[in-house]
Amino acid sequence: MKKPPLIMTNVLVFIVTAAIAFIGVPIWAANFGIDWTEVGVAIFLFYFTGMSITAGYHRLWSHKTYDANVVVRVVLAIGGAMALQNSILHWSSDHRIHHRHVDDNDKDPYSAKKGLWFAHIGWMLREYQAKRYSDYSNCKDLQKDKVVMWQHNHYLRIMLVANFGITGFLGWLNGDILGMILVAGVLRLVLVHHVTFFINSLAHFWGNQPYTDNNTARDNGILAFFTFGEGYHNYHHIFEYDYRNGIRWYQFDPTKWLIAGLSFVGLTKNLRRCPEERIEKARAAMQLQRASEKASVLPNADELMQTIQSEYDLLIQRMSEYYAARKRLMRMKHSSLKRNLESLEVMYKYKELKQSLALQKEKWLQLQSLSFQMA
Ligand SMILES: [Zn+2]
Ligand SMILES: [Zn+2]
């Protein structure tokens, strides 16, 4: 089949910026040097523009995982334009289709099933989906956001002023306009491009799948480090309305920290999280599937699978009981009930269920490693 025509603007932007970053900047550095101010500004703008994509384009606008004050939205819209990845409206429209039709080679605009190169950058080089290029019908909600429409209608201007105006001005203050534009403008832009493209490419190829294997998305802590926390992509694809991608406190997710940090000063609110119970059950269901697959090829498969199934059923039952008790306890704490007999009873029951869930989890874990050994 003949490939669709090239989108020359995109091809040229990628080639020219990469050539300047990887050939031009080293030559410039060798001849004129780079100072620490330029490096510092480049690092700052790397995080600012990268996280405008992850916290803004992605978690705020595409998935509506939280609400943000108008000042935050304007800042993120400018930072996102500076990252040169098209307007919020366009990006979100593509991204919502990516989630809805993930891995569908005909519909997913950057389907990982079409290969690493295609998912990383190839999808932007040709008119693969020319028909729906300006169809934003899946983003009607975003069309009501004045900041989104302002950025969409003036995208080119905002992008140019942000990229050359801000870096040029800072360069002028620092006494070297071109040096600053090269390092904090172009080199930074190319780096942000590729680390954010990793989320569509590597995060669908490299890592593990603790929550679902219905799609190619992976969790990967190393990748999270380079992608402002978006490396926990397996979690993200199953619970996309959660403002976190790395859900544990120790998982590197600066985008989550930024959103949560802004909520402390009242600039963001209504941060949405998936209930812990659903997360735990998704993980257990995946473990059940894996353990059954391993057990099915063993000589005593029938007996083993029965044990696995009954332990799993017990685990799910314990989880349901525990989370129901926790809910009761929370409700009681919110209401003004004093420490009467009833509240003591609820507390006692909660602790009991917590313990039996912990025990069952331990048994489940042992069973997992057992079937690992035998496999
Ligand atoms: Zn997403
Ligand atoms: Zn994805």
Q: What percentage of the chain carries pLDDT values higher than 70? A: 97
pLDDT digits (tens, 9 = 90+) for 128-170: 988 888 899 999 999 999 999 999 999 999 999 999 999 999 9
Say how far apart CA 214 and CA 285 lie, in whole Å: 12
Instruction: Enumerate residues 6+ apart whose C-beta is below 8 A from 297.
Output: 375
Ligand 1 midpoint to CA 288 (Å): 26
Per-residue pLDDT for 15 more than 90?
Answer: yes
Say how many Å lie between the CA of residue 215 and the centre of ligand 1.
Answer: 13
Single-letter code of the amino acid located at 161: V
Give the other-Cβ count within 10 Å of 200's Cβ. Answer: 24
> In angstroms, what is the span from residue 194 Cα to ligand 2's centroid?
15
Cα 207 to ligand 2 centre (Å): 13
Decide if pLDDT at 375 tops 50: no
> Nearest ligand to the C-alpha of residue 63?
1
**Residue 136 in tokens:** 């934003």
User: From CA 108, how far away is CA 95, in angstroms rounded?
Assistant: 9
Mean pLDDT across the chain, nearest whole number?
Answer: 94
User: Ligand 2 centroid vs 308 CA: distance in angstroms?
Assistant: 32
Q: How far is the centre of ligand 1, averaged over its atoms, from the C-alpha of 90 (Å)?
A: 14
What value does the mean pLDDT take over residues 59-64? 98
pLDDT digits (tens, 9 = 90+) for 292-349: 988 888 888 888 899 999 999 999 999 999 999 999 888 887 776 656 777 788 888 9
Query: Considering the chain, what percentage of its residues have pLDDT values greater than 90?
Result: 85
Q: Which tens digit of pLDDT belongs to each residue from 17-51? A: 999 999 999 999 999 999 999 999 999 999 999 99
Q: Which of 106, 105, 124 is nearest to 115 (CA)?
A: 105
The predicted structure's pLDDT at residue 299: 86
**HSE on the CB side for 375, CA within 13 Å?**
15
Buried b (16+ CB within 10 A) or exposed e, 61-74: bbbbbbebeeebbe
Q: How many whole angstroms from 200 Cα to the centroid of ligand 2?
A: 5
Ligand 2: centre distance to CA 201 (Å): 8
User: DSSP per residue over 291-311, as a string?
Assistant: HHHHHTTSTTHHHHHHHHHHH
Q: Is the dihedral of CA 255, 266, 148, 144 positive or negative?
A: positive
Which ligand has the shortest distance to the CA of 207? 2
Q: Which positions ≥6 away from 69 have C-beta within 8 Å? A: 266, 267, 268
Evaluate whether 118 touches 110 at the Cβ level (below 8 Å): yes
The amino acid at 298: L
Cα–ligand 1 centroid distance for 373 (angstroms): 36
Ligand 2 centroid, distance to 281 Cα (angstroms)? 22
Looking at all shown ligands, the one closest to residue 119's CA atom is 2
Q: Calculate mean pLDDT across residues 75-91.
A: 98
**How far is the centre of ligand 1, averaged over its atoms, from the C-alpha of 211 (Å)?**
15
**To 10 degrees, what angle do helices 70-82 and 146-153 make?**
30
Separation of alpha carbons 151 and 173, rounded Å: 27
Q: Which ligand is nearest to the CA of 255?
A: 1
Q: pLDDT at position 143, please?
A: 97
pLDDT digit string, tens, across residues 257-299: 999 999 999 999 999 999 999 999 999 999 999 999 888 888 8
- Buried b vs exposed e over 153-187: b needs ≥16 C-beta within 10 Å? eebeebbeebbeebbbebbeeeebbebbbbbbbbb
Q: Which of 82, 95, 96, 92 is nearest to 155 (CA)?
A: 82
Q: How are beta strands 67-68 and 268-269 bridged, if at all? A: antiparallel
Q: What is the CA(233)–ligand 2 centre distance, in A?
A: 6
* pLDDT single digits (tens) 200-226: 999 999 999 999 999 999 999 999 999
Ligand minimally distant from the alpha carbon of residue 217: 2
**Structure-token pair, residue 330:** 């929370």
Query: CA-to-CA distance for 367 and 364, rounded, in angstroms?
Result: 5
